[in-house]
Amino acid sequence: MVASNLWRWVEAPAQDEAVAAFLATGRPVRLTDRDHNTLMVYAQRCALAAVRSRDGELVVRAFEALALLSPDTVDEDILMTAATLVSYAASHLSDEQRAAVVPALKLADPDVAHVLGGEVDLLDDAGYQELDTPAGRVFVEDEGGRFEAEAALVEAAYAVAAMLEAKGYEADTVGIGQTLHPIWLKDGVSPEAAAATGRLTGCVHVHAYRGLDDVGVYFAEALTSADAEAIGSAVDQVHLPNHPQIGVWADRRFAFLYAGTADPSRPHRDDKSTLDRFRAPLLAILTA
């Protein structure tokens, strides 16, 4: 499991304790690129731990970690997302802890300090939501699409992640409020299916990888059972050797699993026939 995941808490005591001990020394040192990435992951983990425990001390450490970073040392977008998560978690600071972060704010890059010291909107500014999930209180990616399903789609997403990991993959992201674009249906699209993708009451997405190969699953609730069947069957009609995919549906719910690879010089180790091993477990989640 990856320590930088925000959709579930992953224990990494050795890493966390090492960074905390370094920050406690207060000594300026020359940091490597690896150190910069470690500090950013640590800050995000502190923000996640803080919303789970309501412990403001963790946010103080996150401020101290981010004070050592700037857009010159790490990816600016990722840095600002981390700063937004930490600023959001700062609502749990006591008055004493608010005073404790002032030195870090003074040392921080001006853009980072602006985010840390201001009010943030977690969804608009970072694309995340704080949610209670089967993995506890976490941050999940939110694309901002309609999310008013009757089905328990968040629970289904975590069940899909567990299923993929049981098949040998490592789940790395879970997202809600997803949009299923008709382009995914490619040459198998029907007018009914294309229209139905615009009427979803909610859609989640899970991504997982195994070496250079990856799979993704869109799990959604359609407006009607006919819409779910139209989308699922259209997905199943698409035949692309390098990007095999399957569709499964039950009542108003459907799942669309696709596979790909980071190495374009070779096809995915799976083809449409081998992806059939996912049909039964996906159907079980759909009908749970």
pLDDT at position 26:
77
Q: Determine how many CB atoms are found less than 10 A away from the CB of residue 56.
A: 20
Does residue 266 register a pLDDT over 70? no
Beta carbons of 83 and 112 less than 8 angstroms apart: yes
Q: How far apart are CA 86 and CA 178, in angstroms?
A: 24
pLDDT tens by residue, 267-279: 656 777 789 999 9
Does residue 264 register a pLDDT over 90? no
Model's pTM, two decimal places?
A: 0.92
pLDDT at position 287:
95
Q: Which domains does the chain have, with CATH numbers?
A: 13-119 (no CATH), 128-286 (3.40.1000)
pLDDT at position 188:
63
pLDDT tens by residue, 238-260: 777 678 899 999 999 999 999 98
pLDDT range class, residue 68, cuts 50, 70, 90: very high
Q: What residues does 94 pair with on adjacent strands?
A: none
